[in-house]
Amino acid sequence: MFGFGKKKELIIVSPLDGVVVPVGQVSDQTFSEDILGKGVAIRPSVGVVKAPADAEIAMMFETGHAVSLTTDSGADILIHVGLDTVQLKGEHYTAHKANGDRVKTGDKLMTFDMEAIAAKGYDIVTPVVVCNPDSFAEIRFAEEGEIHAGEPLIFIKPN
Amino acid sequence: MREIKHTIKDAFGMHARPAGQFVKTVSAFKSDVKLRTAAGKEVDAKRIMGVMSLGLKQNDVMTITFTGADEANAATATAAFLTENI
């Protein structure tokens, strides 16, 4: 419209194979109340987290249960594998990248043992959050349902 | 400018939840807020990614500075929040 809205929509792809669920259904207020930003969640079916965009690793948590990235398009993304899983202190998680590493979409970031984590009573649902939503005009998410790593998950309209 | 110091008590350090709550607390104020580690690394305290990237752990000392019209209220509220939660 009159030259507005021509900027290309940015797409963040799914870091996991699994099922998309609304973040409002996640039983952790940190995510369901958007305290860390605007997000969506995935119930994983395979224990591999892949880079959701070309990006730099801002923070690979020592415990390997979460990672934050700044994408080349300027989105701050947090992937938090499971709820309250900081308490596992890294057990059942393996980090494959380190702080400051450059990654390409699809690069393996972490692996985790889904069965072992679930067996200890943790919910493995994985919120994927845009931590700087105020930097963008609009953020939308893929609809509920099955998704594979590499398929579009978050649609970001630049300002 | 106001400055407060806080020693982290949370056994898991400044992980996602406390980082989010901390950023939400300081973002309620107009003041410019900076968070600095004992080693001197400083970030914008209103940016989640910056706060998490410091990797603050239990017993680490964090210094927070507030600059702006509501700096006194911001410092008081933040100090109360930290004492209670992190």
Distance of residue B48 Cα from the nearest chain A Cα, in angstroms:
6
CA-based nearest residue to A132, from A47, A45, A70:
A70
Predicted ipTM?
0.84
Q: What is the mean pLDDT of residues B19-48?
A: 96
Q: What percent of chain A has pLDDT over 70?
A: 96
How far apart (Å, rounded) are the C-alpha atoms in residues A71 and B86?
29
pLDDT band of residue A4 (cuts 50, 70, 90) is: low
Q: What is the mean pLDDT of residues A74-84?
A: 96
Cα separation values, A79 from A37, A67, A83, B38, Å: 12, 5, 11, 27
For residue A2, is pLDDT > 70?
no
| Exposed e or buried b per residue across A70-94, where buried means at least 16 C-beta atoms within 10 angstroms of its C-beta | bbeeebbbbbbbbbbbbebeeebbe
Q: What is the mean pLDDT of residues A31-58?
A: 96
Residue of B nearest to A81 (CA): B16
pLDDT of residue A8: 84
Among B10, B12, B41, B48, the strongest candidate for a mutation testing the A interface, having the largest count of A CBs within 10 A, is: B48
Residue of B nearest to A36 (CA): B20
Residues 7-66 of B with CB under 8 A from A: 12, 15-17, 19-21, 24, 47-49, 52-53, 55
Q: What is the mean pLDDT of residues A40-50?
A: 98
For residue B6, is pLDDT > 70?
yes
**Contacts with B48 (C-beta within 8 Å, 6 or more apart), sequence order:** A36, A37, A76, A78, A131, A132, B19, B20, B23
Q: What percent of chain A has pLDDT over 90?
A: 93
pLDDT band of residue A113 (cuts 50, 70, 90) is: very high
Q: What is the mean pLDDT of residues A60-74?
A: 94
- Residue B56: count of CB within 10 angstroms of its CB: 24
Cα separation values, A124 from A158, B41, B48, Å: 31, 33, 22
- Which of the residues B15, B27, B48, B79 is marked catalytic? B15
**Contacts with A54 (C-beta within 8 Å, 6 or more apart), sequence order:** A71, A72, A103, A104, A105
pLDDT band of residue B42 (cuts 50, 70, 90) is: very high
For residue A6, is pLDDT > 80?
no
How far apart (Å, rounded) are the C-alpha atoms in residues B31 and B54?
21
Q: Which chain B residues are within 8 Å of A135, Cβ to Cβ?
A: none
Q: What is the mean pLDDT of residues A68-79?
A: 96
Q: For residue B3, what are its two tokens?
A: 């400055």
Q: What is the mean pLDDT of residues A41-52?
A: 98
Q: What is the mean pLDDT of residues A21-44?
A: 94
Q: What is the mean pLDDT of residues A113-132?
A: 97
